[in-house]
A and B are shown apart, each in its own frame.
Chain A
Amino acid sequence: MATNEQYRICPATGLRIYRSAENLIKANAVVAVVFLAVGGLFGFMVAMTRWKAIHLLPAKWFYLVLTAHGLDVLVVWIIFFEMAVLYFASAVLLNCRLATPKLAWTGFALMLIGAVVTNIAVLQGGSSVMFTSYVPMRAAPHFYLGIILFAVGALIGCFIFLGTLIIAKQERTYKGSIPLVTFGALTAAIIAIFTIATGAIILIPTFLWSLGYISHIDPLVYRTIWWAFGHSSQQINVAAHISIWYLIAAVIFGAKPLSEKVSRFAFLLYILFLQLASAHHLLVDPGISSEWKIFNTSYAMYLAVLGSMIHGLTVPGSIEAAQRRKGYNNGLFEWLRKAPWGNPAFSGMFLSLILFGFLGGISGVVMGVEQINLIMHNTLYVPGHFHATVVAGTTLAFMAVTYLLIPLIFQRELILPGWARVQPYLFGLGAGGISVFMMGAGTLGVPRRHWDISMADAQLPYDFPGAANLMMGLNGMSAVLATLGGFIFIVVVVGSLLFGKRIAVGTTEAASGSGQPAASAVGRYGSAEAPAVPGTLAMVGVFFITFILYYFVNWKYLAEIWPLR
């Protein structure tokens, strides 16, 4: 097919950027950020309601706003941004034109229409069923329809990603294997296809049920299949944000992975096993055997956890190796001290890595253990855990890479660089705080999705310990910080797109604010040569000690709740 597509050469990476891919990346990223702003505001309102001293929203609004929050941030913000990542990792990193850009625009339109339709359904008030929409709670039909349209649009995006891989191979735009970042994006796309397929299997009948064409949907079947969709979609995020860690390390430091083979193998572990972790949502559901639960949440999932721990070693390790090559060899941590902490792309990425590993990773494994899961199942511990993964982990990584995309793809300088510099710290601290304090409250038994834990109008009163209220207050304060960080992000991004100085072609690297070496490592295959990474190994040691201590502390808690004397 003879197309006549325009491209430009990225001065920082030397990669070709085709106009069609560039426009799609821009459109998806912009819509993502808009929904982050809307959804983040809803999150703030929810947190202000759960802070007893403020108790902002009335009950009816609380559940409506909580539904909208979950959908807009977890689904719409993240998946729109992931589409931008898929197009970037295929067309840009492979030096290739995008497969069927028109169809990609159709997918984009479907996602946008779907997101708007579902939001309308929620805001109309009859669909406060939370984003999980468990049957037999029934939302308005257009609630499900919107999600289905959105999912079809996202599925189109995944197939365009695969199509672009084929074109790149046919047109020989790269040699050997695809770059590691593209491989990570492929992992995300594969998980996304499974996710969306299971979503369709359960949401299409639920849509028909809401219209009255199907009389009954079994709640346990719904929960089982819905979580294949709901939890696997989180694994798309993990694969995508880890790819972004590698990308930022390559662009800012010229870092090569410690071992291409090992990193790819870690992604392969994700492809094979990560999605099985969905089962931990069903750990207390009767009717499903312990064999199924334990196989899916432990034996198989630990192989995926092994994948995450490999990335947790190799990403900082590759940065350390690159820094040591530049001569930062003093002591264990000179490479880290001398890292560009004032560059929000780096600080955001590194905070994302630490918070995701220490808070999200450890708490996820603890919750996946059938016995100790009982202490915190369906408590606020659960949102605490996933705010560490999807907010401090994924969202912060996506924010960090946005600071690179603005000069590289949008070709604008950042406005308010001082604000941008502090933003990852504010957001990271806030997101880390909401995670820790929700987990703390959950450990004390505070339920999730609950409008009033003082049980003011309940027939059976119940008093939570004072510490629980303290946790909720600290959670509220952290929410203020996170919201401020989110607000600054939106101001800097939207302001830069509208008013940022246009970057003359050829100066992009300087404008990325990093002042770092050319970033062509991102598009290449190859490992760092025989690196020594003692600092990273020390950090990994601290991680393991924390992990082991926290794991056993939870068994101790369990023993106290249920003593054997």
Chain B
Amino acid sequence: MVHSDDKTGNHPEPPTEDNSEPERIPVMQQILDNPFLLLFLGITIPAVFYVIWGIMEIVHIPIAK
């Protein structure tokens, strides 16, 4: 069967786990739930440790006379 919806946000309940009590979300889970923080870390760390550090070392190689 094909359905359609009108994007008003009134979806029938999706099949996710019932977990209704309000709870304090642990810091680690907040980090893992934040894709843009993860994106930032996933780009910055290799950019600093691999790319920038690596290029700095190459730039410091003395030029042959």
* A residues neighboring B (CB under 8 Å): 1-9, 14-16, 19, 95, 97, 162, 165, 171-178, 183, 186-187, 190-191, 193-194, 197-198, 218, 220-221, 224-225, 228, 232, 261, 264-265, 268, 271-273, 275-276, 278-279, 282, 287-289, 292, 295-296, 300, 505, 520, 523-526
Contact = CB atoms under 8 A, between A and B. Distances in A.
B41 to A, nearest CB: 6
Nearest to B45: A272
Contact of A268 (B16, B32, B61): B32
A278 B50 contact: yes
Given A191-B42, A271-B42, 18 more contacts: A6-B2, A162-B35, A176-B17, A176-B19, A190-B42, A218-B58, A221-B58, A224-B58, A228-B51, A268-B31, A273-B45, A276-B45, A287-B57, A295-B49, A523-B15, A523-B16, A524-B15, A525-B19
Contacts of B41: 271-272
B22 to A, nearest CB: 12
Interface in B15-35: 15-17, 19, 28-29, 31-33, 35
A137 to B, nearest CB: 19
Contact of A275 (B6, B36, B46, B57): B46
Given A177-B33, A524-B16, A525-B16, A292 B57 contact: yes
Nearest to B51: A228
Nearest to A285: B58
A147 B50 CA distance: 23
Nearest to A175: B16
Contacts of A232: 46
B49 to A, nearest CB: 6
Interface residues of B, number: 39
A186 B35 contact: yes
Contacts of A190: 35, 38-39, 42-43
Given A228-B50, A289-B57, A162 B39 contact: yes
A276 B46 contact: yes
A2 B43 contact: no
Interface of A, secondary structure class, is helix
B54 A194 contact: no
A224 B55 contact: yes
A162 B9 CA distance: 19
Contacts of A221: 55, 58
B33 to A, nearest CB: 5
A225 B51 contact: yes
Contacts of A225: 51, 55
Contact of A1 (B2, B7, B50): B7
A220 B29 contact: no
Interface of B: 1-9, 11, 14-17, 19, 28-29, 31-33, 35-36, 38-39, 41-43, 45-47, 49-51, 53-55, 57-58, 61
18 contacts: A2-B7, A15-B14, A162-B35, A162-B36, A162-B39, A172-B9, A176-B16, A224-B51, A225-B55, A228-B51, A272-B41, A273-B45, A276-B46, A276-B50, A278-B50, A288-B57, A292-B54, A523-B15
A187 B9 CA distance: 27
Contact of A194 (B8, B32, B47): B47
A300 B5 CA distance: 47
A221 B60 CA distance: 12
A174 B51 contact: no
B16 A296 contact: no
B13 to A, nearest CB: 9
Contacts of A5: 4-5, 7
Contact of A15 (B15, B45, B51, B53): B15
B15 to A, nearest CB: 5
A279 B41 CA distance: 19
B6 A524 contact: no
A266 to B, nearest CB: 11
Nearest to B32: A264
A171 B54 contact: no
Q: Which of B4, B14, B36, B61 has the most CB of A within 10 A?
A: B14
B2 A8 contact: yes
A463 B56 CA distance: 42
A260 to B, nearest CB: 10
Contacts of A295: 49
Nearest to A275: B46
A178 B38 CA distance: 14
A275 to B, nearest CB: 4
Given A190-B43, A194-B47, A273-B45, A7 B2 contact: yes
B5 A7 contact: yes
B7 A171 contact: yes
Contacts of B11: 95, 171-173
B54 A279 contact: yes
A276 B47 CA distance: 9
Q: Which 5 A-B pairs have the closest CB atoms?
A: A190-B42, A275-B46, A271-B42, A175-B16, A95-B14
Given A276-B49, A295-B49, A175 B1 contact: no
Contact of B38 (A15, A175, A268, A276): A268
A339 to B, nearest CB: 25
A198 B51 contact: yes
A32 B54 CA distance: 34
Nearest to A278: B50
B3 A171 contact: no
